[in-house]
A and B are shown apart, each in its own frame.
Chain A
Amino acid sequence: MSEILVLVEQVDGEVKKVTLELLTLARSLGSPSAVWAGPGVTAEAKAKLAEYGADKIYVAGAEEIVGYVVAPKAELLAQLVSAQSPAAVLVAATAEGKEIAGRLAVKTDSGVITDAVGLGEGFVAEQSIFGGGVNVRSKVAKGTPIVAVRPNSTAPVAAAGAGADEEVSVTLSDAAKSARIVERVKQEKGARPELTEAAIVVSGGRGVGSAENFSVIEGLADALGAAVGASRAATDAGWYPHQFQVGQTGKTVSPQLYIAAGISGAIQHRAGMQTAKTIIAINKDPEAPIFELADYGIVGDLHQIVPQLTEEVDKRK
């Protein structure tokens, strides 16, 4: 079977869920090879990658791969593409993943497809564009298909691969070492899952009314093990930090469940959440466009409904 490279996303040595999704997807199209870029690989991480189907695990453990912005990872992948001639390269469609894909495409003279929500035979990718209004199927016409796949595009399913690991050394060009990362600043984010990766997202909008009231949204999110999002109206008002904005100019999420509380559902917001599998809307305005998307909607005051829902969720756990 033809080899498919999957760039591993990890935090402190722990493999992220999106990588398991990518391995699951790669397995349906060929033989997945995981690519670990940077130091910190552990036996547990390798076991996890093998458990989800990695037949090979390339480990490029040099510190300098993570010491510079994006370019070293693209050079590592380009080197593997040249040496192994894989059928395709899959990366997670995170902001950085897409940048890696872009540079890799230039380096290998290959086509790139971003934000795929599905991938089928012949590496035909499905995308949802224009705020979810149009579905497109695209394919790469030249070179090695490079596809950035959105988190939550498929459910991760374990199926053991051979998991043979192989050390890879990479010689970085001077150009790849031109943007030095001199400090990594980790901001407190608590125990909540990452917004773009979360299976459940609870978002608040204008109807929340104040920064203090976002505790209501956070309470429901914590009861469900969800991430918290916010509409642009809420972040513009300063009620919630900007990095949690869901929408056209913010984050795009594609969770199993999206709960929109006090969000009217303007196109700018819908562009960031329309591919969610199940959508629940809570809004006091029965005419709010968010109800057009909702699988289940409640017309009423979120300040009554959300705390009651949180209590019910806690009760039924």
Chain B
Amino acid sequence: MNIVVCVKQVPDTATERKLRSDDKTLDRDAVDGVVNELDEYAVEEALKLKEAHGGEVTVLTMGPGKATETIRKALAMGADKAVHLFDDALHGSDALSTSYAMAQALKKIGFDLVILGSESTDARTGVLPAMLAERLGTPQLTLANKVDVDGTSISVQRLTDYGYDKVEATLPAVVSVVEKINEPRYPSFKGIMAAKKKPVETLAVADAEIDAAQVGLGAAWSQVVDFAAAPPRAAGTIVKDEGDGGAKVADFLASKKFI
């Protein structure tokens, strides 16, 4: 089975994240990049499926030059090879452009199964897996907390507000996974060393037959009008419990008409 796992480099949540004043995009240079946490579950699921069914796991990343750090991490976990979609023309792409560029790259790579994390911790739109399924014309098996493959059949448990839906489809398909579907492995020393020798192919826009007019900030389907640091919340009242803390909170709730 030919599995492509999509991995994004995101700014470390623990650092202060900013938008650039010049083009209102995320300032990726100013912060440390880490693997999007939810993508680690996607990589683990891809590796487990490969271990069970054979085949190959390819990492696909779209991002700036330093996203290679993220590629190496996924390779160190055990993926076989990687494709880095990297072109200045892609800077500032919104979800629509990104899904278009990724879909073009996926068509070029070829796949039986595409696996992604359910969302990224920076933009948090959660739309990319669904957009990819739409663009590729393949079944959308998203928000999965269990994935089973049997030959060319695939079934997942899709999390819903009321529990889950059992969903079935035929490969090729696009899967997104939620947190806790598995326990992502830590790269071993051997894995880290091996990752340095694994092939990483860089694709520019033209290589993947991506129309440059459809990507990047200029092509974005949505625009940031303006932004500002959130005003600090007005300092609240903090009191020490003197044995009547519960009653005091109740007084506060009553003053705000919650009770």
Contact status B134-A312, CB under 8 Å:
no
- Answer whether residue B137 sits at the interface, using C-beta atoms and an 8 A cutoff: yes
A183 in complex: contacting residue of B18, B159, B166, CB < 8 Å: B166
Q: Of residues 112 to 148 in B, which have CB atoms within 8 Å of A's CB atoms?
A: 118, 121-131, 133-135, 137-143
Q: Mark B156-173, 1 if CB is under 8 A from A, else 0.
A: 011111111111111001
Contact status A300-B245, CB under 8 Å:
yes
CB contacts (< 8 Å) of A101 on chain B: these are: 127
Contact status B237-A296, CB under 8 Å:
yes
Complex Cα–Cα for A307 and B167 (A): 42
CB contacts (< 8 Å) of A297 on chain B: these are: 236-239
- Answer whether residue A42 sits at the interface, using C-beta atoms and an 8 A cutoff: no
Contact status A137-B225, CB under 8 Å:
yes
- Answer whether residue B220 sits at the interface, using C-beta atoms and an 8 A cutoff: yes
Contact status A282-B249, CB under 8 Å:
yes
Contact status B162-A305, CB under 8 Å:
no
Contact status B246-A140, CB under 8 Å:
no
CB contacts (< 8 Å) of B139 on chain A: these are: 69, 178-179
Contact status B179-A141, CB under 8 Å:
no
- Answer whether residue B51 sits at the interface, using C-beta atoms and an 8 A cutoff: no
SS of A interface (majority): mixed
B222 in complex: contacting residue of A112, A268, A293, CB < 8 Å: A112
Contact status A110-B125, CB under 8 Å:
no
Chain A nearest Cβ from B125, distance in angstroms: 4
Give the segment of B42-50, B62-70, B93-101, B184-192 that binds chain A: B93-101
CB contacts (< 8 Å) of A182 on chain B: these are: 155, 166-168
Residue of A nearest to B180 (CB): A242
Contact status A179-B247, CB under 8 Å:
no
CB contacts (< 8 Å) of B13 on chain A: these are: 131, 248, 267-268, 271
CB contacts (< 8 Å) of A128 on chain B: these are: 230
CB contacts (< 8 Å) of A313 on chain B: these are: 250, 253, 259
Chain A contact patch, size range: 35 or more
Contact status B258-A299, CB under 8 Å:
no
CB contacts (< 8 Å) of A115 on chain B: these are: 124-125
Contact status A136-B227, CB under 8 Å:
yes
- Answer whether residue A134 sits at the interface, using C-beta atoms and an 8 A cutoff: yes
Contact status A187-B224, CB under 8 Å:
no
Chain B nearest Cβ from A93, distance in angstroms: 9
- Answer whether residue A85 sits at the interface, using C-beta atoms and an 8 A cutoff: no
A134 in complex: contacting residue of B95, B157, B228, CB < 8 Å: B228
Q: Mark B23-42, 1 if CB is under 8 A from A, else 0.
A: 00000000000000110000
Closest 5 CB pairs of A and B: A300-B241, A308-B246, A102-B127, A111-B221, A312-B250
Residues on B lying within 8 angstroms of A by beta carbon are 13-14, 16-19, 37-38, 94-96, 99, 118, 121-131, 133-135, 137-143, 155, 157-170, 173, 179-180, 220-230, 233-234, 236-241, 243-250, 252-254, 256, 258-259
